Amino acid sequence: MQELKTTKGDLVDAKKRLEEQVSEDDKKLQAEADKVQQELAALDRRHTVLQQDHDAAVQESLDSIGTALNENGKVIVTGCLGKRADLIREAYPDVLSISGPQDYASVMHAVHDVLPPKRNKFLDIVPDTGVKLTPKHYAYLKISEGCNNRCTFCIIPKLRGDLVSRTADDVLREAEKLAMGGVKELLVISQDTSAYGVDVKYAEHEWHGKAYRTRMTELCEGLSELGVWVRLHYVYPYPHVD
């Protein structure tokens, strides 16, 4: 009987210790949760400040565009904000061109569209349409160089290296010049036309105020604006080819 009492007392003590332990653990967990909550709140405040700084910087840039437009009416926008062309066009539909950071070619083309460079008859012996070795009515249009495939019988990847695509706007500008020079049929060539743009992750560029991705299907849409025949060569049936 004495032994039974002792065992029951032990059980009561054990239960009490267990409850104390659980209570202690609960407090620690609550403290951890409070700490995480505070860190989340601090992050949230930091994010809000960054967002406000970002919004202020965007607004400042938009205001600068507006000021420049008011001053001379001809504005070319380039740089980081150029990535948000929709935002700029919505605020200022009259800007002449919008391009993203490091897109030097687009900037120069936009400048030359407004201020055509003066020709020097002694230096500029190449016509605007370039030098063509094909008859007047057709021309080859090279859209990329090299190939990422490794067909065992082929030496091209060793000679030309991996795929390097020209940007869509660059190709479309050349195609436009050729069409304006009298070409009626464009023969689109490369080593692997289906892979066009894979190397640049189908980067987007602007041509005549519209964005085109460096991708075969969108390039075709741009070429279809020129009113000439377009013949695609070396198109292989990859899954991504529509």
Strand partners, 140: 187
For the CB of residue 163, give the shortest distance to ligand SF4 in the complex, in Å: 9
For the CB of residue 165, give the shortest distance to ligand SF4 in the complex, in Å: 14
Give CA 176 to chain center in angstroms.
24
For the CB of residue 149, give the shortest distance to ligand SF4 in the complex, in Å: 4
* Strands (E) located in the chain: 76-78, 97-99, 138-142, 144-145, 164-165, 185-189, 204-207, 210-213, 229-232
**Residue 51 vs 149, nearer CB to ligand SF4:** 149
Binding residues for ligand SF4 restricted to 89-118, rule: CB under 6 A: none
Binding residues for ligand SF4 restricted to 185-224, rule: CB under 6 A: 191-192
- Residue 105 class from Cβ within 10 Å (0-12 exposed, 13-18 middle, 19+ buried)? middle
**Residue 157 vs 181, nearer CB to ligand SF4:** 157
Q: What is the rounded distance in angstroms from the CA atom of residue 204 to the CA atom of residue 159?
A: 28
Binding mask 120-159 for ligand SF4 (x = CB under 6 A): ---------------------------x-xxx--x-xx--
Quick one: tokens of 73? 């009416």
* Interface residue list for ligand SF4 (CB under 6 A): 147, 149-151, 154, 156-157, 191-192
